[in-house]
Structure 1
Amino acid sequence: MRLKSIKNIEKITNTMKIVASTRLNKAQRAMAASRVFNKSDAEFYANAEPEKAESEKTLLVVVSSDKGLCGSIHSQVSKSARRRIDELNGAVDIVTVGDKVKQQLLRTHGDKVKLAFNGIGKEAPNFYEVSLITDEINKLGKYENTEVLYNKFVSSVSFEPSKFSLVDAAAIEKAPGLSKYELENEETSETVAEFSLANSLLTAMAEGYASEVSARRNAMDNASKNAGDMINSYSILYNRTRQAVITNELVDIITGASSLD
């Protein structure tokens, strides 16, 4: 029964590995597209050179997803968020994107979590989904400093927690390098700040999705290999036990036949 159960588990993990492998190419394409937008965003900040203000409270947006079975990817970004909260002496408001990171942060910093989103990570993120999340975040009020914490895709076997640092519209408006750009109206800085947050969220979610799919593929591959090793071990044990039973029965038969002679 145990051998049969392990074989069923191996079939499930092997199927999940194949599904994750299929999704990884799509996830990497979405990630590459989001990096193009984020690169433009980074160039704007490099040219405008806005100054990061000393604020009483920072908005920390932690990006993860709702799904598990992908190794330590959720716990790593949660640990990084806790370290960042300690560095800011707890002067933060937290927004969680994904149920996994929400559950972990609620256990330690439940009073800091102001907003949470779920239904994340089923598919590669798109700008429409991200813009809806951004609109809800903006309803929390104005924050001079905003940080987006996420898992950055490094390679198919590794990822690392990273963050984007953003500033508000007032800091953009006062930026010394803003004169390099031709602005049509006074509301441009507000629009740029909102678009920058949406851009960063899109990149963070795309990077996190690619990291998660890759981590799930590796986790299911390891699980399939471990199940295969257990199947071999239990098959040998089952065959030895079965052979021992057969041998004992033959001995009993031979012994009984000999006693009749």
Structure 2
Amino acid sequence: MFRQAAIIAGRNTKPTQVRQYATLREIETRLKSIKNIEKITKTMMIVASTRLSKAERTKATTEQFAKQEKNFYANAEADKSPLAKEGKNLIIAITSDKGLCGSIHSSMAKKIRNVLKENANADVIAVGDKIKQQILRTHESNVKLAFNGVGKSDPNFLEASLISEEVLKFIEQSAETYNKISVYFNDPVTSISFEATNDPVYNEQTINEAPGLCKYEINEDLNVNRDLFEYALNSKILSAMGKGYAAEISARRNAMDNASKNAGDMINKYSILYNRTRQAVITNELVDIITGASSLD
């Protein structure tokens, strides 16, 4: 009985899987694919390097649009307005639709998630598919508006104005009051590093209550603060897109450079493995020939 059970158990037992070494053809195929990847990453690095100087000029140009608004907010002390901390917060997160640029998009998503942890009821407007996809995974209810088709080329005033126009329509149609709008973007600190930061934009009601507004002579018959709010929002979005574009191009160049170096290391590794395997195959064939010749004698 015990013998019969042992026989049945032996029949049901599957043979153990033994790890086989890679054949010469498999190593050669893998080596060719890595070389092709290295060519692609080197080409993308060269393209990013040539576009970086233009991106830096775009960043410097677009930054001038938001510089005057920043000075006005500082002189008017807009952050000390009693309405600045009231109402619902609106976050505009700006990235792009493209990937293969390291952790620049994930770091922005991490920054927005940390902000939403502190202020869970804040509304988010996503500019770019990358930030939209990552925020929708964890905070789908917070995303109220999204834009795509951005980041394909250097940003311009027309593109920023179209986005700001849709944002203003959303604000006007919304039942919420957004006294302060935070525009988040990737700021290139150096050529190899970036930081997710934000610039505030205040609506006309908040500016009207700013304690330092009395420093300026404003005609009450004209709706200056409303025009200022619209222009400031457009300028902040344009400046944020310009800085984010420069940071993304720099990050893509660094990412493709690192990928090319890693591919080169793997090519050296697989070249050594290929040569050793090839030598082993030749040695085995020589052994078989010598053994066969010896058996004939």
Same fold (TM over 0.5): yes
Provide the C-alpha distance between the structure 1 equivalents of 2:290 and 2:101, rounded to a whole number of angstroms: 56
Amino acid at match of 2:193: S
* Larger Cα-atom Rg: 2
Task: State whether residues 82 and 209 of structure 2, in contact with CA within 8 Å, keep that contact through their aligned partners in structure 1.
Answer: no
Q: Secondary structure at the match of 1:209?
A: helix
Q: Does 1:68 align with 2:99?
A: yes
Question: What is the deviation of 1:259?
Answer: 4.1
- The residue that corresponds to 1:17 in the other structure is 45
Question: What is the deviation of 1:210?
Answer: 0.9
Question: What is the deviation of 1:167?
Answer: 1.1
- The residue that corresponds to 1:186 in the other structure is 222
Alignment of 1:174-253 (within 5 A): 174-184=209-219, 185-253=221-289
Q: Secondary structure at the match of 1:195?
A: helix
* Runs of 5+ consecutive residues of structure 1 not aligned to the other structure: none
Task: State whether residues 182 and 199 of structure 2, in contact with CA within 8 Å, keep that contact through their aligned partners in structure 1.
Answer: yes
Alignment of 1:80-95 (within 5 A): 80-88=111-119, 90-95=120-125
Q: Secondary structure at the match of 1:162?
A: strand
- The residue that corresponds to 1:32 in the other structure is 60
Question: What is the deviation of 1:243?
Answer: 1.3
Q: Does 1:151 align with 2:179?
A: no
- The residue that corresponds to 1:96 in the other structure is 126
Range with bigger deviation, 153-162 or 242-251: 242-251
Task: State whether residues 52 and 145 of structure 1, in contact with CA within 8 Å, keep that contact through their aligned partners in structure 2.
Answer: no
Provide the C-alpha distance between the structure 1 equivalents of 2:169 and 2:66, rounded to a whole number of angstroms: 23
Provide the C-alpha distance between the structure 2 equivalents of 1:96 and 1:237, rounded to a whole number of angstroms: 47
Provide the C-alpha distance between the structure 2 equivalents of 1:69 and 1:131, rounded to a whole number of angstroms: 28
Provide the C-alpha distance between the structure 2 equivalents of 1:255 and 1:129, rounded to a whole number of angstroms: 77
Amino acid at match of 1:187: N
Range with bigger deviation, 250-259 or 219-228: 250-259
Provide the C-alpha distance between the structure 1 equivalents of 2:145 and 2:170, rounded to a whole number of angstroms: 8
Range with bigger deviation, 42-51 or 145-154: 42-51
Identity %: 58
Provide the C-alpha distance between the structure 2 equivalents of 1:104 and 1:259, rounded to a whole number of angstroms: 69
* TM-score, length-scaled by structure 1: 0.94
Question: What is the deviation of 1:251?
Answer: 2.6
Provide the C-alpha distance between the structure 2 equivalents of 1:61 and 1:131, rounded to a whole number of angstroms: 14
Can you list the C-alpha shifts for 1:7-49, whole angstroms capped at 9, x where unaligned?
A: 1111111111111111111111111112222222211111222
Q: Does 1:111 align with 2:174?
A: no
Provide the C-alpha distance between the structure 1 equivalents of 2:38 and 2:254, rounded to a whole number of angstroms: 14
Question: What is the deviation of 1:124?
Answer: 1.1
Question: What is the deviation of 1:52?
Answer: 5.5
- The residue that corresponds to 1:121 in the other structure is 151
* Runs of 5+ consecutive residues of structure 2 not aligned to the other structure: 1-28, 172-176
Q: Secondary structure at the match of 1:80?
A: helix
Range with bigger deviation, 66-75 or 38-47: 38-47
* TM-score, length-scaled by structure 2: 0.83
Amino acid at match of 2:123: D
Alignment match of 2:162 (pick from 132, 145, 164): 132
Provide the C-alpha distance between the structure 1 equivalents of 2:138 and 2:203, rounded to a whole number of angstroms: 28
Question: What is the deviation of 1:240?
Answer: 1.0
Task: State whether residues 56 and 91 of structure 1, in contact with CA within 8 Å, keep that contact through their aligned partners in structure 2.
Answer: no
